[in-house]
């Protein structure tokens, strides 16, 4: 489960930003997860709770937004929305796909009260 490592890195990133921006408190953190990033949004929330437990960030609201990724079929050229559970071309059922978008995980917003 690499979500744990990601949350750990995210925690460090949030702390770094809070320090740079001199944020005393944070009320909400929003991350955007691409559907082709391989990260499961539900695991992200669980891991975030695990890594922030007992820290100054444990009560911060953690929001995971899923961004639909797109892929292109190498067989017929069709472009479509894709995620890890539907990795087939809707037109020709081919499975040779190139991901176009949705492979990223981004820290979208840190909200201070
Ligand atoms: Zn196709």
**Six token digits for residue 17:** 């930003």
How many structural domains compose the chain? Answer: 1
pTM of the model: 0.84
- Is 61 part of any domain? yes
Residues of the domain holding 10: 3-69+103-111
**Could you tell me the CA-to-CA distances from 36 to 4, 93, 97, 107 in Å, in that order?**
18, 18, 11, 16
Q: Which residues pair with 105 in a beta bridge?
A: 33
pLDDT value of residue 92? 97
How many angstroms is it from 78 CA to the middle of ligand 1? Answer: 5
Domain CATH code at residue 20: 3.30.2320.50
| Residue 67 CA to ligand 1 centre (angstroms) | 22
Residue 81 inside a domain? The answer is no
> Looking at the domain assignment, is residue 83 inside a domain?
no
Element counts in the chain: helices (H) and strands (E) = 2, 6
Whether 24 is in a domain gets the answer: yes
**pLDDT tens for each residue of 30-69:** 999 999 998 989 999 999 999 999 999 999 999 999 999 9
Residues 6+ apart with CB under 8 A from 40: 3
């Amino acid at each position: 489960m690499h979500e744990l490592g990601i949350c750990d890195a995210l925690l460090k990133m949030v702390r770094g930003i809070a320090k740079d921006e001199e944020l005393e408190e944070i009320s909400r953190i929003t991350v955007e997860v691409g559907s082709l990033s391989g990260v499961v949004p539900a695991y992200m929330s669980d891991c975030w709770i695990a890594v922030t437990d007992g820290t100054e960030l444990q009560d911060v609201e953690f929001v995971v937004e899923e961004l639909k990724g797109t892929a292109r079929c190498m067989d017929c050229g069709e472009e479509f929305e894709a995620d890890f559970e539907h990795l087939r071309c809707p037109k020709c059922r081919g499975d040779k796909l190139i991901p176009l978008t949705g492979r990223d995980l981004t820290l979208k917003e840190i909200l201070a009260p």
